[in-house]
Structure 1
């Protein structure tokens, strides 16, 4: 299971586009979408502002992956940690990897808690929405879910991607049909709308009974900033170098649009609809419901499975990233064993429900802490030569710590914190000045503290070796036939069966929307789900076997 933790990914190990389409769709159509979609309902932002803000923010997120993260990942073929060590030194990477790894552990823990919130329904455990668990049985469920997630993450990028490849299409459909099935419930409780025959009817329903404007400070720009910054650690903070280093082409970063516009747009809206409907059915406040409770009201038994798998597809790659972070502390450590330890730590964190109940605030803080690293690396990778500075200058000094890099990180976070605490700027916006501050301060500090003094010829040999590696990679890829799917008869059959299963599920969602029969929908949706997973697993197994 070669993962190239310390060296560039070999050309033969690069992956085709479908791996990244599945990975982004699977990771960002996740159990936390139930949490975030419901929170937008609770925030008191109007329907029009939510829709427009999500469109803009998710577009900016996709452009960040395409223009910032993917070019650096595919040019270097290194993990974030290996490349940052090359720039900032082993002393810096030890500090950063610990902080980064802990943040990813908390994020992955939220996904595991979300999955457990669905399993708890099977055992009659009440919703866990406080800071600490109120049920020991819930803790046992979390431990079981965490064990499964950690095992998959230990297997490496290919297994993580194949898991998403199976689950992602089905999860997308489940969000769609769940939202559709819940709309009649909301219509029945809205006096101003008797049916939904056009977008105007939907918008009236949304403004009246789902995203109800409550005069809060949150608005369009808050929604846009959150949608952009929610995954800042991955794109602007370059965490997805760990994933995109396997991409044959930098353009594969456009597949992030599947995650952003299907997951962080459509799924967030669908989750908001399901949350509002679930609160009406149960005659309770939305804040008292967890993801499992919302999905169960919309999708019945399949809602439990949806939340479990949606949590897994996000926590798997997040634990994988965290394992790479901690493995970078000591190159001799086995990535598999480090990932196992990370999985154990993450599972313990997941036992406390606060990791998802406080998710929005945590994502804002995570973006703030990691944003300067992205600006710092972007600066050295793309701007140093244009500014007359020596790229990778610190490696020629022999020092274990790049002091200008450390100062840049501290000052950039300090600038953002000053704006937050001193001027009252919302935490959703602080990643922007943090990233831009690093972009400006790092070249300034580096030029004063040695980047201009280092003789560029001392690093010429390593630059030539890197250019030769890149040329060898281009030659290899040019010689390969990179077709997407293996065109065997069996795979065509499995693909057709999976597609028809999803089409049947969509048809049931439309039927529920028109008939309003939620119970019938929940009983029938089980069958296309079962048939889909049979065909999808056979399809992915066939493709994998054909590639070996």
Structure 2
């Protein structure tokens, strides 16, 4: 399985847009949505701030993928780790890859915990809301879920993308119907709102019984920061170079809008509705419930499957990224074996739900650590030539460590940390000054420490080789533009079957919204789910076989 860990992706291995549509929709309509969407409810953020903040923050996230990450990924065709080693040296990458890989392990572990939180319902295990496990059976469940996820990540990018291609449409439908099914419960518990006939009625219900403004410090800008910064490690921090290097066109980064506006907007709102409805049904505070309990109250037994699949669609690509990070430490290491080791470590972490319980704090810290790397890479890739500096100057000096890059990373994190500890800036906002500090500081330090003195002609041969590679890639794409796969009658049948199954599921959700019959909805939603997965798996398998 060629994953091009150390060299540019070959033109023949580049993927069509549907891979990225499925990957972004699958990864970001996932387990974290049950967690973060419900957090806005428990934090007491007002409905207007939640809706407006998510719109603005998710737009900024999409633009970060489109304007920062994708151009660098498709121009270099390298992983973040291979490109960072080219810029900052093998000494730097050994430090960064270890830190980066550990962070990805912890994040993936949280998603495995989310999946395990659903399975534990089948065994009558109480919700795992402490930082440590309170049940040995839960530990065994987490180990089993982690084994499945690790196997998928070992198979490589194509397998991860195909998994998302199957799961994503159904996950989107489940968030929609789950929220719709519990709206009548919330409406029945809100005497001041008799019905929902307009957006104004919905907003009134939301402000009264879902996202209730409790006068906390959390507001519009905090929601913007969460939506923008939750995936900062992937877009502004360039972690998704590992994914987008396979994109035939830089414009495929616009597919991230599927993940952001379906996942981090619609699904977060739906998760908030489900969380508020579940709290009303059980007469318990939302903070005492995990994602599995919330989904089970909304969707019944299918809610358990929804959370399991949701955790998988996030943890699969995250373990894949972590495997690439650790594999970059030694070129001779097999990516598959490294990913297996990473999967074992991640699964052990998943047995301790500490990240699950403090997910947004962890995401804020992760963004803070990785943001400066994105800023300094952006500076060298786009700004150095304009500033009269030599790009990839470290190679000409033969240094194993780019000292200005290391100092920039340390200083940028230090500036952000100072703003947090000394001036009380919330951790969710700190990635912005960290990224900007690196963008401005790195060219200054590099200029003072050798980037201006290096003769660019020393790198002329490698620059010419890179230009030739890009021209060859463009010529290949022009001459081998892959036409749409011929759609056989069998493929059409599978597509129609999968589409009709989703339409039936959505119709059941609308029926539950109008009738309020939650029990009937939960018993019937099982059947379109089964038929959808049968048709979708068969369709994706045939398409994969046709592509070779």
TM-score normalised by length of structure 1: 1.00
2:17 corresponds to which residue? Answer: 17
DSSP-derived class of the 2:544 partner? helix
1:244 corresponds to which residue? Answer: 244
Cα distance in 2 between the residues matched to 1:490 and 1:245 = 32
Alignment of 1:374-523 (within 5 A): 374-523=374-523
DSSP-derived class of the 2:125 partner? coil
1:231 corresponds to which residue? Answer: 231
Cα distance in 2 between the residues matched to 1:399 and 1:490 = 58
Gaps of 5+ in 2: none
2:82 corresponds to which residue? Answer: 82
Cα distance in 1 between the residues matched to 2:479 and 2:512 = 51
Residue 167 (structure 2) pairs with residue 167 (structure 1):
yes
Residue 538 (structure 2) pairs with residue 528 (structure 1):
no
Residue 113 (structure 2) pairs with residue 113 (structure 1):
yes
DSSP-derived class of the 2:19 partner? helix
Structure 1 runs, 4 residues or longer, greater than 2 Å off:
481-486
Instruction: Encode CA deviations 1:364-406: one digit per residue, 9 max, x unaligned.
Output: 0000000000000000000000000000000111111000000
2:285 corresponds to which residue? Answer: 285
Q: What's the CA shift for 1:481?
A: 3.1
Cα distance in 1 between the residues matched to 2:302 and 2:526 = 6
Cα distance in 1 between the residues matched to 2:466 and 2:487 = 36
Contact 1:486 1:543 in 2 (8 A): no
Alignment of 1:250-399 (within 5 A): 250-399=250-399
DSSP-derived class of the 1:132 partner? coil
Q: What's the CA shift for 1:489?
A: 1.4
2:206 corresponds to which residue? Answer: 206
Cα distance in 1 between the residues matched to 2:457 and 2:490 = 57
1:156 corresponds to which residue? Answer: 156
Cα distance in 2 between the residues matched to 1:372 and 1:470 = 28
Cα distance in 1 between the residues matched to 2:159 and 2:45 = 39
1:97 corresponds to which residue? Answer: 97
Contact 1:384 1:391 in 2 (8 A): yes
Cα distance in 2 between the residues matched to 1:274 and 1:495 = 30
Q: What's the CA shift for 1:198?
A: 1.0
CA RMSD in angstroms, aligned pairs only: 0.5
Cα distance in 2 between the residues matched to 1:33 and 1:188 = 25
Cα distance in 2 between the residues matched to 1:62 and 1:356 = 25
Instruction: Encode CA deviations 1:411-430: one digit per residue, 9 max, x unaligned.
Output: 00000001000100011100
DSSP-derived class of the 1:233 partner? coil
Instruction: Encode CA deviations 1:409-449: one digit per residue, 9 max, x unaligned.
Output: 00000000010001000111000000000000000000000
Instruction: Encode CA deviations 1:153-175: one digit per residue, 9 max, x unaligned.
Output: 00000000000000000000000
Cα distance in 2 between the residues matched to 1:482 and 1:48 = 45
Cα distance in 2 between the residues matched to 1:480 and 1:182 = 50
Cα distance in 2 between the residues matched to 1:391 and 1:271 = 46
Cα distance in 2 between the residues matched to 1:501 and 1:122 = 26
Contact 1:17 1:484 in 2 (8 A): no
Cα distance in 2 between the residues matched to 1:452 and 1:84 = 20
Instruction: Encode CA deviations 1:99-145: one digit per residue, 9 max, x unaligned.
Output: 00000000000000000000000000000000101000000000000
Alignment of 1:183-202 (within 5 A): 183-202=183-202
1:147 corresponds to which residue? Answer: 147
Cα distance in 1 between the residues matched to 2:484 and 2:104 = 31
DSSP-derived class of the 1:193 partner? coil
Cα distance in 1 between the residues matched to 2:373 and 2:431 = 11
Instruction: Encode CA deviations 1:293-340: one digit per residue, 9 max, x unaligned.
Output: 000000000000000001000000000000000000000000000000
Q: What's the CA shift for 1:258?
A: 0.2
Cα distance in 1 between the residues matched to 2:502 and 2:519 = 20
1:68 corresponds to which residue? Answer: 68
Cα distance in 2 between the residues matched to 1:436 and 1:288 = 39
DSSP-derived class of the 1:18 partner? helix
Cα distance in 1 between the residues matched to 2:278 and 2:51 = 21
DSSP-derived class of the 2:196 partner? coil
Gaps of 5+ in 1: none
TM-score normalised by length of structure 2: 1.00
1:57 corresponds to which residue? Answer: 57
Moved more, 25-34 or 484-493: 484-493
Cα distance in 2 between the residues matched to 1:40 and 1:528 = 31
Cα distance in 2 between the residues matched to 1:309 and 1:190 = 33
Cα distance in 2 between the residues matched to 1:264 and 1:317 = 17
Cα distance in 2 between the residues matched to 1:92 and 1:484 = 43
Cα distance in 1 between the residues matched to 2:426 and 2:12 = 46
Alignment of 1:39-58 (within 5 A): 39-58=39-58
Cα distance in 2 between the residues matched to 1:377 and 1:225 = 22
Contact 1:385 1:391 in 2 (8 A): yes
Cα distance in 2 between the residues matched to 1:184 and 1:545 = 45
Contact 1:16 1:484 in 2 (8 A): no
Q: What's the CA shift for 1:482?
A: 2.5
Q: What's the CA shift for 1:514?
A: 0.1
Contact 1:18 1:484 in 2 (8 A): no
Q: What's the CA shift for 1:485?
A: 4.3
